[in-house]
Amino acid sequence: MEILVCVKRVLDTSENEIELNREGTGIELDEAVYSINEPDNYAVEEALQIVARVGGKVTVVTVGGEDDEEVLRREMAMGAQQGVLLSDAAFNGSDAKGVATILKSFVQKGAYHLILTGVQADDGGAQVGGMLAAMLDYPFASLVNSIEVLPGKLKISREIEGGNREINEIELPCVLSIQTGINEPRYVGMRGIRAVASVPISTYGASELQIDPGTVGKLAAKVKRLDYFVPTLGKGAEMLDGGREDNVERVTELIAAKGGLR
Partner 1 sequence: MTARIFAYVMHKAGVVDDSAAELLAAIKQIDAAAAPTAIVSGSGAELDSACSSLCAFYPEIWKISNAALSYPNAELIRKALVKLLPPGAILLLAHEHFGIDLAPGLSIRLNTAFVPDALAIAGRVGVLLNVVRQEFGGQISANVECDISSGVVLTVRPGAFKPPVIAPANGNVVDKSGEVGALTSGRRYVETVMAESGEVDITKHSILVSVGRGIQEKDNLSIAQDLAEALGAAVSCSRPVVDAKWLEKSRQVGSSGKTVKPKVYLACGISGAFQHLAGLKGSPFIIAINKNPKAPIFQVADIGIVDDILEFLPELTSKVRELRSKAA
Partner 2 sequence: MVEAIQSPAHATYWLVQGRLLFLIIYLLGTACFSYIVARRLQPLFRGERDFRLDQPFRRLGRVLQFWLGQWKHPRYRMAGTIHLLIFAGFLILATRAFSVLALGVSDGFVIPGLSGKAGHIYGIVADYASTVVLFCMVVAAIRRVAFKPARYAVPARYGKGHSADAIFLLALIAILMAADSLFEASQAAALWQQGQTAEFLPVLSLPWMLNKALLSTSLPMLQSLHLGAYLIHDLTFFFLLCYRPFGIQFHVETSLFSVFFAKLDRGKLKPVKWGIPDERLDQVKSFGVKTFEDFTWKHMLDFYSCADCGRCSDNCPSNAAGRPLSPRFLTIKARDYTFLHYPMFGSAKNGQPLVGSVYSEDEIWSCTTCGACEVECPLLVEYIDKIVDLRRGLVDEGNVPQSLQKPLKALESRGNPYGKMTKKRADWVSAGNFGQTCRVKVLNGESAGTLYFVDSITSYDDRIQAIGQATAKILRHVGEDFGILGAAEKDSGHEVRRFGEETLFRALRDHNTQAIRESGAQRIVTSDPHAFNALKHDYKDVPPVEHISQVIAREVKSGRIKFHPAENDKVYTYHDPCYLGRHNQIYDDPRNVLDAIPGLKRVEMRRSRDRSFCCGGGGLMLFYEAKEEERIGVKRVRMAAEAGANVIVTACPYCMVNLEDAIKVAGLEGKVTAIDLAELTDQQLVRERPAA
3-class secondary-structure state, position 150: strand
Does 195 help bind partner 2 (rule: CB under 8 A)? yes
| Helix or strand run (H / E) with residue 256 | helix 244-257
Does 205 help bind partner 2 (rule: CB under 8 A)? no
User: If binding means CB under 8 A, how many residues of this protein chain bind partner 2?
Assistant: 20
DSSP 193-209: HHHTTTS--EEE-TTTT
The span of 27-35, 132-140, 147-155, 206-214 binding partner 2 (CB under 8 A) equals: 27-35
Q: Which does 210 bind (CB under 5 to 8 A by kind): partner 2, partner 1, none?
A: none
Compute the distance between CA of residue 132 and CA of residue 119 in angstroms, rounded to an integer: 13
Q: Which residues contact 155 (CB under 8 A, 6 or more apart)?
A: 147, 148, 167, 168, 169
Residue 143 C-beta: closest distance to partner 1, Å: 6
Does 15 help bind partner 2 (rule: CB under 8 A)? yes
Instruction: Decide whether 67 or 238 has the Cβ nearer to partner 1.
Output: 238
Interface mask toward partner 2 for 155-194; x: CB under 8 A: -----------------------------xxxxxxxxx-x
Instruction: Decide whether 32 or 167 has the Cβ nearer to partner 2.
Output: 32
Instruction: Decide whether 63 or 188 has the Cβ nearer to partner 2.
Output: 188
Which 32-91 residues touch partner 1, going by CB under 8 A?
A: none
Compute the distance between CA of residue 193 and CA of residue 62 in angstroms, rounded to an integer: 18
Compute the distance between CA of residue 99 and CA of residue 126 in angstroms, rounded to an integer: 13
Residue 194 C-beta: closest distance to partner 1, Å: 30
Query: 116, 80, 97: which is closest to 4 by C-alpha?
Result: 116
Q: Which does 147 bind (CB under 5 to 8 A by kind): partner 2, partner 1, none?
A: none
DSSP 67-82: GGHHHHHHHHHHT-SE
For 67-97, letters b (16+ CB in 10 Å) and e give: ebbebbbbbbbbbbebbbbbbbebbeebbbb
Instruction: Decide whether 34 or 140 has the Cβ nearer to partner 2.
Output: 34
Q: Phi and psi dihedrals of 195, rounded to 5?
A: -65, -30
In this chain, which of 52, 197, 199, 255 binds partner 1, going by CB under 8 A? 255
Q: Which does 67 bind (CB under 5 to 8 A by kind): partner 2, partner 1, none?
A: none
Which 157-196 residues touch partner 1, going by CB under 8 A?
A: 157-171, 174, 177, 180-181
Q: Which does 185 bind (CB under 5 to 8 A by kind): partner 2, partner 1, none?
A: partner 2
Q: Which residues contact 187 (CB under 8 A, 6 or more apart)?
A: none
Residue 197 C-beta: closest distance to partner 1, Å: 29
